[in-house]
Structure 1
Amino acid sequence: MNNIIKKMLQHGTVTVDYPKKPIKSSFITGAPEFDLKKCKRCMRCLNTCPTGAIVFADNPSEKAKTPAVNLDECIFCRFCEENCSQGAVSLTSRFELAQKNREALRASPVYVQDNEAGGLEYELIGKQLKEKVYSTFGKSLHIREVDAGSCNGCDYEINALGSPYNDIERFGIHFVASPRHADMLLVTGCVTRNMEEALIKTYNAVPSPKLVVAVGACACSGGIFKDSYAGKNGIDSILPVDVYIPGCPPRPQAIIYGILKSIGRL
Protein backbone atom coordinates (compact mmCIF):
# COMPACT_ATOMS: atom_id res chain seq x y z
CA MET A 1 0.00 0.00 0.00
CA ASN A 2 2.82 2.40 0.87
CA ASN A 3 4.46 1.75 -2.51
CA ILE A 4 1.18 2.46 -4.33
CA ILE A 5 0.72 5.76 -2.49
CA LYS A 6 4.35 6.66 -3.20
CA LYS A 7 3.90 6.06 -6.94
CA MET A 8 0.67 8.08 -6.97
CA LEU A 9 2.48 11.04 -5.41
CA GLN A 10 5.43 10.69 -7.82
CA HIS A 11 3.43 10.48 -11.04
CA GLY A 12 0.33 12.53 -10.21
CA THR A 13 -2.73 12.35 -12.46
CA VAL A 14 -2.07 10.62 -15.77
CA THR A 15 -5.65 10.19 -17.00
CA VAL A 16 -6.33 11.87 -20.33
CA ASP A 17 -9.00 14.63 -20.40
CA TYR A 18 -10.66 13.18 -23.51
CA PRO A 19 -13.48 13.70 -24.49
CA LYS A 20 -13.69 17.02 -22.59
CA LYS A 21 -10.55 18.14 -24.41
CA PRO A 22 -9.44 16.97 -27.87
CA ILE A 23 -6.55 14.54 -27.93
CA LYS A 24 -3.59 15.29 -30.19
CA SER A 25 -0.94 12.73 -31.09
CA SER A 26 1.37 12.13 -34.03
CA PHE A 27 0.70 8.40 -33.63
CA ILE A 28 -3.03 8.63 -34.40
CA THR A 29 -4.10 7.12 -37.71
CA GLY A 30 -7.61 7.66 -38.98
CA ALA A 31 -9.74 7.94 -42.07
CA PRO A 32 -7.91 8.12 -45.44
CA GLU A 33 -8.55 11.22 -47.53
CA PHE A 34 -8.07 11.82 -51.27
CA ASP A 35 -6.77 14.94 -52.98
CA LEU A 36 -8.83 14.81 -56.15
CA LYS A 37 -6.65 17.46 -57.83
CA LYS A 38 -3.66 15.10 -57.66
CA CYS A 39 -5.57 11.89 -58.37
CA LYS A 40 -5.07 10.49 -61.90
CA ARG A 41 -7.69 7.72 -61.49
CA CYS A 42 -5.04 5.06 -62.05
CA MET A 43 -6.83 2.76 -59.57
CA ARG A 44 -3.57 1.62 -58.00
CA CYS A 45 -4.99 2.34 -54.55
CA LEU A 46 -8.08 0.26 -55.33
CA ASN A 47 -5.99 -2.68 -56.52
CA THR A 48 -3.67 -2.64 -53.49
CA CYS A 49 -6.39 -2.36 -50.82
CA PRO A 50 -6.40 -5.74 -48.99
CA THR A 51 -10.05 -5.47 -47.84
CA GLY A 52 -11.58 -3.83 -50.90
CA ALA A 53 -12.49 -0.76 -48.85
CA ILE A 54 -11.57 1.67 -51.64
CA VAL A 55 -14.21 2.17 -54.32
CA PHE A 56 -14.77 4.56 -57.21
CA ALA A 57 -18.11 6.23 -56.51
CA ASP A 58 -20.19 8.83 -58.34
CA ASN A 59 -19.22 12.37 -57.37
CA PRO A 60 -21.75 15.01 -58.58
CA SER A 61 -19.31 17.88 -58.05
CA GLU A 62 -16.68 16.20 -60.23
CA LYS A 63 -19.20 14.77 -62.74
CA ALA A 64 -17.20 11.54 -62.69
CA LYS A 65 -16.36 8.59 -60.50
CA THR A 66 -13.79 9.45 -57.83
CA PRO A 67 -12.00 7.32 -55.21
CA ALA A 68 -13.65 6.99 -51.81
CA VAL A 69 -13.39 4.71 -48.77
CA ASN A 70 -15.86 2.40 -47.06
CA LEU A 71 -14.68 3.02 -43.51
CA ASP A 72 -16.43 -0.05 -42.11
CA GLU A 73 -14.02 -2.17 -44.20
CA CYS A 74 -10.87 -0.03 -43.94
CA ILE A 75 -8.08 -1.34 -41.67
CA PHE A 76 -5.93 1.84 -41.91
CA CYS A 77 -2.97 -0.18 -43.24
CA ARG A 78 -1.49 2.73 -45.29
CA PHE A 79 -1.14 0.55 -48.44
CA CYS A 80 -3.16 3.10 -50.41
CA GLU A 81 -0.97 5.96 -49.19
CA GLU A 82 2.30 4.09 -49.83
CA ASN A 83 1.34 2.89 -53.32
CA CYS A 84 -0.08 6.14 -54.70
CA SER A 85 2.56 7.53 -57.07
CA GLN A 86 0.77 10.91 -57.19
CA GLY A 87 0.60 11.41 -53.42
CA ALA A 88 -3.15 11.83 -53.73
CA VAL A 89 -4.13 9.78 -50.69
CA SER A 90 -3.07 10.20 -47.08
CA LEU A 91 -4.22 8.93 -43.70
CA THR A 92 -5.59 11.64 -41.45
CA SER A 93 -5.69 11.72 -37.65
CA ARG A 94 -9.52 11.64 -37.50
CA PHE A 95 -10.46 8.75 -35.22
CA GLU A 96 -13.93 9.86 -34.06
CA LEU A 97 -15.60 7.79 -36.74
CA ALA A 98 -18.25 5.73 -34.89
CA GLN A 99 -21.72 5.82 -36.42
CA LYS A 100 -25.13 4.46 -35.43
CA ASN A 101 -25.87 3.56 -39.05
CA ARG A 102 -23.43 1.45 -41.04
CA GLU A 103 -24.40 3.25 -44.26
CA ALA A 104 -22.94 6.46 -42.80
CA LEU A 105 -19.50 4.79 -42.91
CA ARG A 106 -19.79 3.82 -46.55
CA ALA A 107 -19.22 5.49 -49.91
CA SER A 108 -21.02 2.64 -51.68
CA PRO A 109 -24.14 0.74 -50.57
CA VAL A 110 -24.03 -2.62 -48.82
CA TYR A 111 -25.12 -5.14 -51.43
CA VAL A 112 -25.30 -8.23 -49.21
CA GLN A 113 -27.62 -7.88 -46.24
CA ASP A 114 -29.30 -10.41 -43.99
CA ASN A 115 -33.06 -9.77 -44.12
CA GLU A 116 -34.22 -12.97 -42.49
CA ALA A 117 -37.29 -12.91 -40.24
CA GLY A 118 -36.61 -10.88 -37.13
CA GLY A 119 -34.11 -8.45 -38.62
CA LEU A 120 -36.68 -5.78 -39.43
CA GLU A 121 -38.54 -6.48 -36.19
CA TYR A 122 -35.38 -5.88 -34.17
CA GLU A 123 -34.83 -2.58 -35.95
CA LEU A 124 -38.37 -1.44 -35.12
CA ILE A 125 -37.98 -2.38 -31.47
CA GLY A 126 -34.65 -0.56 -31.36
CA LYS A 127 -36.26 2.68 -32.53
CA GLN A 128 -39.14 2.37 -30.07
CA LEU A 129 -36.73 1.83 -27.16
CA LYS A 130 -34.32 4.63 -28.08
CA GLU A 131 -35.56 7.11 -25.47
CA LYS A 132 -35.82 4.35 -22.87
CA VAL A 133 -32.23 3.28 -23.51
CA TYR A 134 -30.88 6.81 -23.19
CA SER A 135 -32.72 7.48 -19.93
CA THR A 136 -31.68 4.09 -18.51
CA PHE A 137 -27.99 4.17 -19.45
CA GLY A 138 -27.38 7.90 -19.26
CA LYS A 139 -25.35 7.83 -16.05
CA SER A 140 -24.08 4.26 -15.78
CA LEU A 141 -23.38 1.34 -18.07
CA HIS A 142 -22.26 -2.26 -17.62
CA ILE A 143 -20.49 -3.88 -20.55
CA ARG A 144 -19.87 -7.51 -21.47
CA GLU A 145 -17.07 -7.80 -24.02
CA VAL A 146 -17.29 -10.69 -26.50
CA ASP A 147 -14.48 -11.86 -28.77
CA ALA A 148 -16.37 -13.43 -31.67
CA GLY A 149 -13.27 -14.49 -33.58
CA SER A 150 -10.85 -11.54 -33.64
CA CYS A 151 -7.06 -11.41 -33.95
CA ASN A 152 -7.08 -9.86 -30.43
CA GLY A 153 -5.95 -6.45 -31.72
CA CYS A 154 -9.26 -4.82 -30.81
CA ASP A 155 -9.35 -6.70 -27.50
CA TYR A 156 -5.97 -5.23 -26.51
CA GLU A 157 -7.35 -1.74 -27.14
CA ILE A 158 -10.47 -2.56 -25.09
CA ASN A 159 -8.23 -3.74 -22.24
CA ALA A 160 -6.49 -0.36 -22.40
CA LEU A 161 -9.80 1.35 -21.53
CA GLY A 162 -9.31 0.29 -17.91
CA SER A 163 -5.80 1.73 -17.63
CA PRO A 164 -5.14 4.85 -15.52
CA TYR A 165 -4.54 6.79 -18.75
CA ASN A 166 -8.00 6.17 -20.25
CA ASP A 167 -9.90 5.22 -17.06
CA ILE A 168 -13.30 4.52 -18.58
CA GLU A 169 -14.77 4.00 -15.10
CA ARG A 170 -14.74 7.78 -14.60
CA PHE A 171 -17.82 7.79 -16.83
CA GLY A 172 -19.61 5.24 -14.65
CA ILE A 173 -18.87 2.51 -17.20
CA HIS A 174 -17.83 -0.94 -15.94
CA PHE A 175 -17.00 -4.30 -17.52
CA VAL A 176 -18.81 -7.33 -16.10
CA ALA A 177 -18.16 -11.07 -16.29
CA SER A 178 -21.73 -12.19 -16.91
CA PRO A 179 -24.02 -11.08 -19.75
CA ARG A 180 -26.92 -11.24 -17.26
CA HIS A 181 -25.39 -8.22 -15.51
CA ALA A 182 -24.72 -6.29 -18.73
CA ASP A 183 -26.46 -3.41 -20.50
CA MET A 184 -24.24 -3.55 -23.58
CA LEU A 185 -22.35 -6.11 -25.66
CA LEU A 186 -19.02 -4.86 -26.99
CA VAL A 187 -18.24 -7.32 -29.78
CA THR A 188 -14.98 -7.84 -31.70
CA GLY A 189 -14.24 -10.21 -34.57
CA CYS A 190 -16.08 -11.23 -37.73
CA VAL A 191 -18.17 -13.94 -35.97
CA THR A 192 -16.55 -17.27 -36.79
CA ARG A 193 -18.64 -20.41 -37.21
CA ASN A 194 -17.52 -21.67 -33.79
CA MET A 195 -18.52 -18.41 -32.08
CA GLU A 196 -21.84 -17.75 -33.83
CA GLU A 197 -23.99 -19.79 -31.43
CA ALA A 198 -22.09 -18.51 -28.38
CA LEU A 199 -22.62 -14.89 -29.45
CA ILE A 200 -26.36 -15.41 -29.98
CA LYS A 201 -26.70 -17.08 -26.57
CA THR A 202 -24.78 -14.24 -24.95
CA TYR A 203 -27.02 -11.67 -26.66
CA ASN A 204 -30.15 -13.49 -25.48
CA ALA A 205 -28.79 -13.58 -21.91
CA VAL A 206 -28.45 -9.77 -21.74
CA PRO A 207 -31.59 -8.19 -20.20
CA SER A 208 -33.58 -5.78 -22.36
CA PRO A 209 -33.22 -2.98 -23.24
CA LYS A 210 -29.71 -3.68 -24.47
CA LEU A 211 -27.13 -2.19 -26.80
CA VAL A 212 -24.73 -3.87 -29.23
CA VAL A 213 -21.54 -2.11 -30.36
CA ALA A 214 -19.36 -3.55 -33.17
CA VAL A 215 -15.68 -2.78 -32.53
CA GLY A 216 -13.22 -2.85 -35.41
CA ALA A 217 -13.38 -3.50 -39.14
CA CYS A 218 -14.00 -7.24 -38.68
CA ALA A 219 -17.03 -6.66 -36.46
CA CYS A 220 -18.34 -3.94 -38.78
CA SER A 221 -18.00 -5.75 -42.11
CA GLY A 222 -15.82 -8.85 -41.84
CA GLY A 223 -12.69 -6.79 -42.47
CA ILE A 224 -9.72 -8.75 -43.78
CA PHE A 225 -11.77 -11.97 -43.37
CA LYS A 226 -14.73 -10.74 -45.43
CA ASP A 227 -16.47 -13.42 -47.55
CA SER A 228 -14.53 -16.20 -45.81
CA TYR A 229 -16.09 -19.65 -45.56
CA ALA A 230 -15.18 -19.70 -41.86
CA GLY A 231 -17.12 -16.67 -40.65
CA LYS A 232 -19.75 -13.99 -41.14
CA ASN A 233 -19.36 -10.55 -42.69
CA GLY A 234 -19.70 -8.68 -39.44
CA ILE A 235 -21.95 -8.67 -36.40
CA ASP A 236 -25.03 -7.23 -38.11
CA SER A 237 -25.40 -10.42 -40.16
CA ILE A 238 -26.82 -12.11 -37.03
CA LEU A 239 -27.49 -9.35 -34.45
CA PRO A 240 -28.93 -5.81 -34.52
CA VAL A 241 -26.06 -3.33 -34.07
CA ASP A 242 -26.54 0.09 -32.47
CA VAL A 243 -23.09 1.62 -33.13
CA TYR A 244 -20.24 0.74 -35.50
CA ILE A 245 -16.66 1.68 -34.52
CA PRO A 246 -14.32 1.28 -37.53
CA GLY A 247 -10.58 0.71 -37.32
CA CYS A 248 -8.01 -2.09 -37.25
CA PRO A 249 -7.88 -1.76 -34.37
CA PRO A 250 -9.66 1.44 -33.27
CA ARG A 251 -7.67 3.32 -30.63
CA PRO A 252 -9.10 3.44 -27.06
CA GLN A 253 -10.36 7.01 -27.52
CA ALA A 254 -12.28 5.93 -30.64
CA ILE A 255 -13.94 3.17 -28.60
CA ILE A 256 -14.79 5.63 -25.81
CA TYR A 257 -16.31 7.93 -28.44
CA GLY A 258 -18.44 5.11 -29.83
CA ILE A 259 -19.65 3.95 -26.40
CA LEU A 260 -20.58 7.47 -25.32
CA LYS A 261 -22.30 8.03 -28.68
CA SER A 262 -24.39 4.90 -28.18
CA ILE A 263 -25.82 6.18 -24.89
CA GLY A 264 -26.24 9.79 -26.02
CA ARG A 265 -23.58 11.31 -23.76
CA LEU A 266 -21.64 13.36 -26.35
Structure 2
Amino acid sequence: MLHILAERLRQGRRTVAFPKNVPDLPPRFRGLPVLSPGPCATDCASCAGTCPTGALGADEAGLFLDLGKCIFCGTCATACPAGRVAFSQDHRLASDTREGLVLRPGTRPHVSPLDPARRRLFARSLKLRQVSAGGCNACEADLNVLTTVVFDLGRFGIDFVASPRHADGVAVTGPVTVNMLAATRATFDAVPDPRVAIAVGACAISGGVFAGSPETTGGATPHLPVDLFIPGCPPHPLTILDGLLSLLGIPTP
Protein backbone atom coordinates (compact mmCIF):
# COMPACT_ATOMS: atom_id res chain seq x y z
CA MET A 1 0.00 0.00 0.00
CA LEU A 2 2.83 2.39 0.83
CA HIS A 3 4.43 1.68 -2.55
CA ILE A 4 1.14 2.58 -4.28
CA LEU A 5 0.87 5.87 -2.40
CA ALA A 6 4.51 6.70 -3.12
CA GLU A 7 4.02 6.05 -6.85
CA ARG A 8 0.91 8.22 -6.88
CA LEU A 9 2.84 11.08 -5.27
CA ARG A 10 5.66 10.62 -7.77
CA GLN A 11 3.30 10.89 -10.73
CA GLY A 12 1.69 14.06 -9.40
CA ARG A 13 -1.38 15.66 -10.93
CA ARG A 14 -2.62 13.75 -13.97
CA THR A 15 -5.88 15.59 -14.69
CA VAL A 16 -5.68 18.29 -17.36
CA ALA A 17 -6.28 21.84 -16.17
CA PHE A 18 -8.99 22.43 -18.80
CA PRO A 19 -11.01 24.64 -18.90
CA LYS A 20 -8.57 26.90 -17.03
CA ASN A 21 -5.85 26.06 -19.52
CA VAL A 22 -5.83 24.22 -22.85
CA PRO A 23 -3.38 21.30 -22.78
CA ASP A 24 -0.84 20.95 -25.54
CA LEU A 25 -2.21 19.02 -28.48
CA PRO A 26 0.01 16.81 -30.66
CA PRO A 27 1.43 18.43 -33.82
CA ARG A 28 -0.55 16.03 -36.01
CA PHE A 29 -3.88 17.05 -34.46
CA ARG A 30 -6.33 18.38 -37.07
CA GLY A 31 -8.70 20.89 -35.57
CA LEU A 32 -10.98 23.59 -36.96
CA PRO A 33 -10.66 23.92 -40.75
CA VAL A 34 -9.85 27.42 -41.95
CA LEU A 35 -11.08 28.60 -45.33
CA SER A 36 -9.20 31.56 -46.70
CA PRO A 37 -11.06 34.16 -48.80
CA GLY A 38 -10.32 34.57 -52.44
CA PRO A 39 -11.39 33.23 -55.82
CA CYS A 40 -11.06 29.61 -56.84
CA ALA A 41 -9.79 28.69 -60.26
CA THR A 42 -12.50 28.54 -62.90
CA ASP A 43 -14.48 25.30 -62.62
CA CYS A 44 -11.87 24.00 -60.19
CA ALA A 45 -12.96 20.82 -58.43
CA SER A 46 -9.52 19.68 -57.32
CA CYS A 47 -10.22 19.82 -53.58
CA ALA A 48 -14.00 19.29 -53.49
CA GLY A 49 -13.74 16.24 -55.70
CA THR A 50 -11.32 14.54 -53.33
CA CYS A 51 -13.61 14.77 -50.27
CA PRO A 52 -14.92 11.26 -49.54
CA THR A 53 -18.07 12.55 -47.79
CA GLY A 54 -18.92 15.59 -49.91
CA ALA A 55 -18.18 18.00 -47.04
CA LEU A 56 -16.41 20.56 -49.24
CA GLY A 57 -18.12 22.48 -51.99
CA ALA A 58 -18.89 25.86 -53.51
CA ASP A 59 -22.09 27.76 -54.28
CA GLU A 60 -23.08 31.30 -55.21
CA ALA A 61 -21.67 32.55 -51.88
CA GLY A 62 -18.34 30.82 -52.43
CA LEU A 63 -16.38 28.02 -50.81
CA PHE A 64 -17.90 26.16 -47.84
CA LEU A 65 -17.05 23.16 -45.68
CA ASP A 66 -19.66 21.18 -43.74
CA LEU A 67 -18.11 20.09 -40.44
CA GLY A 68 -21.04 17.73 -39.93
CA LYS A 69 -19.81 15.65 -42.87
CA CYS A 70 -16.05 16.22 -42.54
CA ILE A 71 -13.96 13.25 -41.37
CA PHE A 72 -10.80 15.39 -41.03
CA CYS A 73 -8.80 13.27 -43.42
CA GLY A 74 -6.93 16.36 -44.63
CA THR A 75 -7.06 15.36 -48.29
CA CYS A 76 -8.66 18.64 -49.36
CA ALA A 77 -5.88 20.70 -47.78
CA THR A 78 -3.25 19.01 -49.89
CA ALA A 79 -5.38 18.91 -53.04
CA CYS A 80 -6.44 22.57 -53.17
CA PRO A 81 -4.08 24.27 -55.66
CA ALA A 82 -4.90 27.71 -54.25
CA GLY A 83 -4.21 26.63 -50.65
CA ARG A 84 -7.60 27.89 -49.49
CA VAL A 85 -8.20 25.00 -47.07
CA ALA A 86 -6.06 24.41 -43.99
CA PHE A 87 -6.53 22.69 -40.64
CA SER A 88 -5.73 24.59 -37.45
CA GLN A 89 -5.13 23.17 -33.97
CA ASP A 90 -8.29 24.78 -32.61
CA HIS A 91 -10.23 22.08 -30.74
CA ARG A 92 -13.46 24.10 -30.55
CA LEU A 93 -15.71 22.51 -33.16
CA ALA A 94 -19.14 22.04 -31.56
CA SER A 95 -22.31 23.87 -32.55
CA ASP A 96 -25.80 24.06 -31.12
CA THR A 97 -27.30 24.17 -34.63
CA ARG A 98 -26.74 22.03 -37.70
CA GLU A 99 -26.43 25.13 -39.87
CA GLY A 100 -23.66 26.42 -37.63
CA LEU A 101 -21.41 23.57 -38.78
CA VAL A 102 -21.27 24.91 -42.34
CA LEU A 103 -18.07 26.96 -42.43
CA ARG A 104 -17.23 29.77 -44.79
CA PRO A 105 -14.22 32.11 -44.82
CA GLY A 106 -14.18 34.04 -41.54
CA THR A 107 -16.81 31.93 -39.76
CA ARG A 108 -16.59 29.34 -36.98
CA PRO A 109 -19.09 27.17 -35.09
CA HIS A 110 -20.64 28.42 -31.86
CA VAL A 111 -22.52 26.87 -28.94
CA SER A 112 -25.21 28.89 -27.17
CA PRO A 113 -25.98 27.60 -23.66
CA LEU A 114 -29.21 25.77 -22.96
CA ASP A 115 -32.27 27.78 -22.05
CA PRO A 116 -32.18 29.06 -18.45
CA ALA A 117 -34.61 26.45 -17.09
CA ARG A 118 -32.63 23.47 -18.36
CA ARG A 119 -29.32 25.09 -17.54
CA ARG A 120 -30.33 25.57 -13.91
CA LEU A 121 -31.34 21.92 -13.81
CA PHE A 122 -28.31 20.40 -15.56
CA ALA A 123 -25.43 22.80 -14.84
CA ARG A 124 -24.20 20.88 -11.78
CA SER A 125 -25.45 17.42 -12.67
CA LEU A 126 -25.85 16.14 -16.22
CA LYS A 127 -26.34 12.41 -16.65
CA LEU A 128 -26.17 10.97 -20.16
CA ARG A 129 -27.11 7.62 -21.64
CA GLN A 130 -24.74 6.79 -24.48
CA VAL A 131 -26.35 5.13 -27.50
CA SER A 132 -24.02 3.32 -29.89
CA ALA A 133 -26.17 3.30 -33.01
CA GLY A 134 -23.99 1.32 -35.40
CA GLY A 135 -20.72 3.19 -34.91
CA CYS A 136 -17.21 1.83 -35.38
CA ASN A 137 -16.45 2.39 -31.64
CA ALA A 138 -14.02 5.27 -32.24
CA CYS A 139 -16.42 7.94 -30.95
CA GLU A 140 -17.51 5.58 -28.20
CA ALA A 141 -13.88 5.14 -27.15
CA ASP A 142 -13.28 8.89 -26.93
CA LEU A 143 -16.43 9.34 -24.85
CA ASN A 144 -15.11 6.64 -22.55
CA VAL A 145 -11.73 8.41 -22.31
CA LEU A 146 -13.52 11.40 -20.78
CA THR A 147 -14.23 9.32 -17.68
CA THR A 148 -10.52 8.62 -17.04
CA VAL A 149 -8.36 10.54 -14.60
CA VAL A 150 -6.89 12.63 -17.43
CA PHE A 151 -10.12 14.43 -18.33
CA ASP A 152 -12.22 13.49 -15.26
CA LEU A 153 -15.65 14.35 -16.66
CA GLY A 154 -17.21 13.76 -13.25
CA ARG A 155 -15.58 16.87 -11.76
CA PHE A 156 -18.10 18.91 -13.77
CA GLY A 157 -21.03 16.82 -12.58
CA ILE A 158 -21.30 15.08 -15.96
CA ASP A 159 -21.54 11.29 -15.98
CA PHE A 160 -22.71 8.40 -18.13
CA VAL A 161 -25.43 6.20 -16.68
CA ALA A 162 -26.71 2.73 -17.52
CA SER A 163 -30.41 3.50 -17.88
CA PRO A 164 -32.26 6.24 -19.75
CA ARG A 165 -34.59 6.43 -16.75
CA HIS A 166 -31.65 7.77 -14.75
CA ALA A 167 -30.49 10.12 -17.51
CA ASP A 168 -31.00 13.75 -18.46
CA GLY A 169 -30.27 13.10 -22.11
CA VAL A 170 -28.66 10.87 -24.71
CA ALA A 171 -25.31 11.02 -26.50
CA VAL A 172 -25.69 9.24 -29.83
CA THR A 173 -22.77 7.86 -31.83
CA GLY A 174 -22.89 6.07 -35.17
CA PRO A 175 -24.98 6.54 -38.31
CA VAL A 176 -28.13 5.10 -36.68
CA THR A 177 -28.53 1.91 -38.62
CA VAL A 178 -31.93 0.62 -39.62
CA ASN A 179 -31.69 -2.02 -36.91
CA MET A 180 -30.84 0.59 -34.25
CA LEU A 181 -33.39 3.24 -35.19
CA ALA A 182 -36.20 1.96 -32.95
CA ALA A 183 -33.81 1.47 -30.03
CA THR A 184 -32.39 4.98 -30.42
CA ARG A 185 -35.83 6.54 -30.45
CA ALA A 186 -37.03 4.39 -27.55
CA THR A 187 -33.98 5.32 -25.46
CA PHE A 188 -34.57 9.03 -26.00
CA ASP A 189 -38.29 8.68 -25.29
CA ALA A 190 -37.48 6.91 -22.01
CA VAL A 191 -35.49 9.91 -20.74
CA PRO A 192 -37.73 12.12 -18.55
CA ASP A 193 -38.44 15.67 -19.68
CA PRO A 194 -36.69 18.09 -19.84
CA ARG A 195 -33.94 16.30 -21.74
CA VAL A 196 -31.11 16.89 -24.16
CA ALA A 197 -29.88 15.08 -27.27
CA ILE A 198 -26.26 15.18 -28.38
CA ALA A 199 -24.88 13.92 -31.70
CA VAL A 200 -21.23 12.90 -31.36
CA GLY A 201 -19.16 12.42 -34.50
CA ALA A 202 -19.77 12.79 -38.23
CA CYS A 203 -21.78 9.58 -38.42
CA ALA A 204 -24.28 10.73 -35.79
CA ILE A 205 -24.58 14.15 -37.42
CA SER A 206 -24.85 13.28 -41.10
CA GLY A 207 -24.20 9.58 -41.58
CA GLY A 208 -20.50 10.20 -42.16
CA VAL A 209 -18.82 7.76 -44.51
CA PHE A 210 -21.97 5.62 -44.36
CA ALA A 211 -24.30 8.36 -45.63
CA GLY A 212 -26.51 7.10 -48.42
CA SER A 213 -26.23 3.46 -47.42
CA PRO A 214 -29.62 1.70 -47.32
CA GLU A 215 -28.56 0.17 -43.99
CA THR A 216 -28.24 3.57 -42.27
CA THR A 217 -30.66 6.43 -41.64
CA GLY A 218 -28.49 9.56 -41.67
CA GLY A 219 -27.50 9.68 -38.02
CA ALA A 220 -29.40 11.13 -35.09
CA THR A 221 -30.15 14.47 -36.73
CA PRO A 222 -33.27 13.36 -38.69
CA HIS A 223 -34.77 11.54 -35.71
CA LEU A 224 -34.04 13.50 -32.51
CA PRO A 225 -34.23 17.18 -31.53
CA VAL A 226 -30.45 17.53 -31.26
CA ASP A 227 -29.22 20.24 -28.88
CA LEU A 228 -25.49 19.82 -29.50
CA PHE A 229 -23.53 18.72 -32.56
CA ILE A 230 -19.93 17.61 -31.93
CA PRO A 231 -18.16 16.94 -35.24
CA GLY A 232 -15.13 14.75 -35.82
CA CYS A 233 -14.18 11.25 -36.88
CA PRO A 234 -13.81 10.75 -34.02
CA PRO A 235 -13.89 14.06 -32.14
CA HIS A 236 -11.00 14.59 -29.74
CA PRO A 237 -12.03 14.20 -26.06
CA LEU A 238 -11.17 17.87 -25.56
CA THR A 239 -13.57 18.80 -28.37
CA ILE A 240 -16.35 16.80 -26.71
CA LEU A 241 -15.64 18.28 -23.30
CA ASP A 242 -15.56 21.81 -24.69
CA GLY A 243 -18.95 21.28 -26.35
CA LEU A 244 -20.55 19.86 -23.22
CA LEU A 245 -19.29 22.66 -20.99
CA SER A 246 -20.33 25.32 -23.51
CA LEU A 247 -23.83 23.84 -23.62
CA LEU A 248 -24.03 24.16 -19.83
CA GLY A 249 -22.82 27.75 -19.92
CA ILE A 250 -19.46 26.96 -18.30
CA PRO A 251 -16.80 29.29 -19.76
CA THR A 252 -14.10 27.61 -21.85
CA PRO A 253 -10.95 29.11 -23.43
What TM-score does the superposition give when structure 2 sets the normalisation length?
0.88
State whether residues 55 and 66 of structure 2, in contact with CA within 8 Å, keep that contact through their aligned partners in structure 1: yes
**Residue from 150, 155, 175 that aligns with 1:170:** 155
Superposed CA offset, 1:217-242 (max 9, x none): 11111111112111111212111100
Of 237-246 and 2-11, more deviation after overlay is shown by 2-11
Q: Give 3-state SS (helix, strand or coil) of 1:40's partner.
A: coil
Q: Is 2:155 aligned against 1:159?
A: no
CA distance in 2, matches of 1:40, 1:34: 15
Cross-structure match for 1:12: 12
- Structure 1 pair 39–11 and aligned structure 2 pair: CA distance change class (3 A): farther
State whether residues 144 and 179 of structure 1, in contact with CA within 8 Å, keep that contact through their aligned partners in structure 2: yes
Structure 1 stretches of at least 4 aligned residues deviating more than 4 Å after TM superposition = none
Q: Give 3-state SS (helix, strand or coil) of 2:221's partner.
A: helix
Superposed CA offset, 1:74-129 (max 9, x none): 11001101223443322111221111111111259xxxxxxxxxxxxxxxxxxxx9
Matches within 5 A, 1:26-175: 26-37=27-38, 39-40=40-41, 42-59=44-61, 66-107=62-103, 130-175=115-160
State whether residues 32 and 92 of structure 2, in contact with CA within 8 Å, keep that contact through their aligned partners in structure 1: no
Question: Aligned AA for 1:52?
Answer: G
Superposed CA offset, 1:26-73 (max 9, x none): 2321122233458435221110000000010333xxxxxx32201111
State whether residues 38 and 88 of structure 1, in contact with CA within 8 Å, keep that contact through their aligned partners in structure 2: no
State whether residues 150 and 218 of structure 1, in contact with CA within 8 Å, keep that contact through their aligned partners in structure 2: yes
State whether residues 199 and 220 of structure 2, in contact with CA within 8 Å, keep that contact through their aligned partners in structure 1: yes
- Structure 1 pair 205–28 and aligned structure 2 pair: CA distance change class (3 A): same
Q: Give 3-state SS (helix, strand or coil) of 1:81's partner.
A: helix
CA distance in 1, matches of 2:14, 2:41: 46
Identity rate of aligned residues, in percent?
Answer: 42
Q: Structure 2: where are the runs of 5+ without partners? A: 105-113
Q: Give 3-state SS (helix, strand or coil) of 1:185's partner.
A: strand
Deviation of 1:23 (Å): 3.1
What TM-score does the superposition give when structure 1 sets the normalisation length?
0.84
Q: Structure 1: where are the runs of 5+ without partners? A: 60-65, 109-128
Question: Aligned AA for 2:248?
Answer: I
CA distance in 1, matches of 2:211, 2:149: 35
Which structure: greater helix fraction?
Answer: 1
Report the count of equivalent residues.
Answer: 240
Cross-structure match for 1:24: 24
- Structure 1 pair 137–16 and aligned structure 2 pair: CA distance change class (3 A): same
Cross-structure match for 1:115: none
Q: Give 3-state SS (helix, strand or coil) of 2:78's partner.
A: helix
